[in-house]
Structure 1
């Protein structure tokens, strides 16, 4: 299913949006995070998938590979740590930003507790950043979060709280715990009265966009289309805003893809305002299994995203297998369930002979982001027949 957003515009990046997310702040985040030992000091790879592009009938396909960002395995390693740094600086303005995640202020932060809800990757990143800085951290997970993902978060000394409900109910529980204890919620989704920290999470995602622009322009390239995962909208807002500011009226076509059962952004586009998902929200694409649109993210998405699209779980599974096996003689990639959504949409459109509905053709140059690797290793092996280590060995 596809929805063309009639409210998408091609204008210079609005100043009212630039006051919230901008390239300069993304570069500052990049500088702060570059000192954290848990992150690679180098930009993640931008793979040119020539064989797949030919098979799809487009000119170029680039995949930004966030499985290589850190041992945390996903792009979330940029968002939560950036927000935590900003939060700590707000309360301790004398601290030096690039020393916070080095543990330089561990004693002063021993009682500075944070809490968040998660489907897995955001909570893991926050737990790791909290452990590095010395902040106590509590993570709330819901019924669909696997034991494997729970253990991966707990490994960073987080206190785990599991509830019986879904993701949105875990967000409510995290907020309740924070108010009860006087702690601070560090969430990647915004709601009424809570926008500052989600903004800082989104700003961290701009680091990826900054790297991509540099990597492409070094080769005198520019994407015609960028396809990103949905979720609550923070990833897309953080990345699309950077490209919009950079290219202005000549920005690429922006596309968002979600699981059909977690279609909150798709529904928001139809209704013209932040809306809720209409399905069960339970998807194998765990990081995208979100029921409520981030209000602050929607401010950026409504005027910029040209198309909203939906895929099925099987589409993602098939694409995981393609990347892991290195179809079409391309580089094998460790693409997690949520990481392959962009490729899954392209494959689905080709199968249905509908590339043209996204204005895609033989001259199109498409950028997608593999947002996660094997963040659930056992599930990855079950779905692809390979371990992450076996895929990496073939690279």
Structure 2
């Protein structure tokens, strides 16, 4: 392996991010949601010893507000802000007031998804008791569709013939055809930036939790590893790590066959790539959100891609150590393992490092990568 497999930007460490809004509003809103509590920060001392660093923790998002992924943090705040704006409600309104206002104007929610974001939007539709239309790419599994549909009778799921980007276009077009339709999407495009920005704000709650959980142990993160799909979570990670006087290293990870950010960073140019199927479904995106790209090109310290096999092995390790992680979540561990073998310094793995891996989803069914399946068959 060569250093060319890692994108590294030494200038990112000194870059500073300034928030445009008060993210404490999102955190206060999340505390009003039924069942809100911090997700666990799980130590992995054996892994830290193997890597030769001070500590490794996993932020386990396998059960966030009753859903198997972190997405509800962004979807809930994005939906709240969009409906509040649509119905002219103050930002300290209750969920009951929001639901009443949405009913009054016949709000309908729309979204495109590879799985977890769509289910989170569907959950918000259930909470507000309004109709939801979710669009998915041709890579969607029937199981994923059924889980979204399970959120309520008002949920409709449509699989399009094209890619995730095609599903986004379809969701946007349909939302414009319906009076008081609202697109709740986590990636921006021309003319659609406000809701994605609110969704990024929603994810800040996760990062504040990490900071406080480490403070209780007398620690501070030196590196945070985040999976990248369209980039909303990664945007929130960079914002947190490069603001308020913090200089936390940001390592991003993507599937080898859907690495839009990695290719963009290496070319220092924003463009769309072709992707193919991956067990990391939620990361199968060909275009980085344009509101996030300027933040990434300045604030991402390092970027790495991983194979299906590397991801599968990381899932097995986390599950064996009590972390209920799916492919998108385990990508962070795979990135650190790979980075340690290529260039520990570039990936933020110094001897005194405190590394936080964001495990963004719980365990789910996925096809075992062929080479792993073949190995299993050959075992006596």
Q: Same fold (TM over 0.5)?
A: yes
2:339 aligns with one of 331, 346, 349: 349
Shift of residue 102, structure 1, vs aligned partner: 8.0
Per-residue CA distance 1:66-91 (angstroms, 9 max, x = gap): 11323211010101111000011102
3-state SS of 1:171 partner: helix
CA gap 1:319/1:115 in 2 versus in 1, 3 angstroms: same
- Could you say which residue in structure 2 is the equivalent of 1:163? 160
Structure 1 residues 33, 359: closer, same or farther in 2, change over 3 A? closer
Q: Secondary structure at the match of 2:298?
A: coil
Question: Where in structure 2 are the equivalents of 1:233-244 lying within 5 Å?
Answer: 233-244=231-242
Q: Which residue of 1 aligns with 2:268?
A: 272
Task: Summarize the alignment of residues 373-384 of structure 1 with structure 2, pairs less than 5 Å apart.
Answer: 373-374=362-363, 376=364, 378-379=365-366
178-187 vs 334-343, which moves further: 178-187
- Counterpart Cα distance in 2 of 1:140 and 1:315: 30
Match of 2:176 among 159, 174, 179: 179
SS at match of 1:61: strand
**1:212 pairs with 2:210:** yes
Cα distance, 1:256 vs structure 2: 0.7
Q: Report how many aligned residue pairs link the two structures.
A: 365
Name 1:223's counterpart in structure 2: 221
Whether contact under 8 Å (2:36, 2:65) holds in the other structure is no
1:10 corresponds to: 14
* CA deviation after TM superposition for structure 1 residue 275, in Å: 2.0
Q: 1:125-154, CA deviations, whole angstroms, 9 ceiling, x for partnerless residues?
A: 000001111221100011111111101101
Matched-pair contact (CA < 8 Å) for 1:223–1:252: yes
Alignment of 1:148-159 (within 5 A): 148-157=143-152, 158-159=155-156
Distance 1:380 1:220 in 2: 41
1:315 CA displacement: 1.0
**In the alignment, which of 121, 131, 147 is matched to residue 126 of structure 2?**
131
- The correspondence for 1:289, drawn from 269, 272, 284, is 284
- Which residue does 1:47 correspond to in 2? 42
SS at match of 2:239: helix
Whether the 8 Å contact between 2:279 and 2:308 is mirrored in structure 1 is yes
1:196 and 2:183 are equivalent in the alignment: no
TM-score using structure 1 length: 0.86
Change (3 A) 1:337 1:311: same
After superposition, residues 317-332 of structure 1 pair within 5 angstroms as 317-326=312-321, 332=322
Unpaired runs of 5+ residues, structure 1, are: 327-331, 386-395
Query: Cα RMSD between the aligned structures?
Result: 2.4
TM-score (norm 2): 0.89
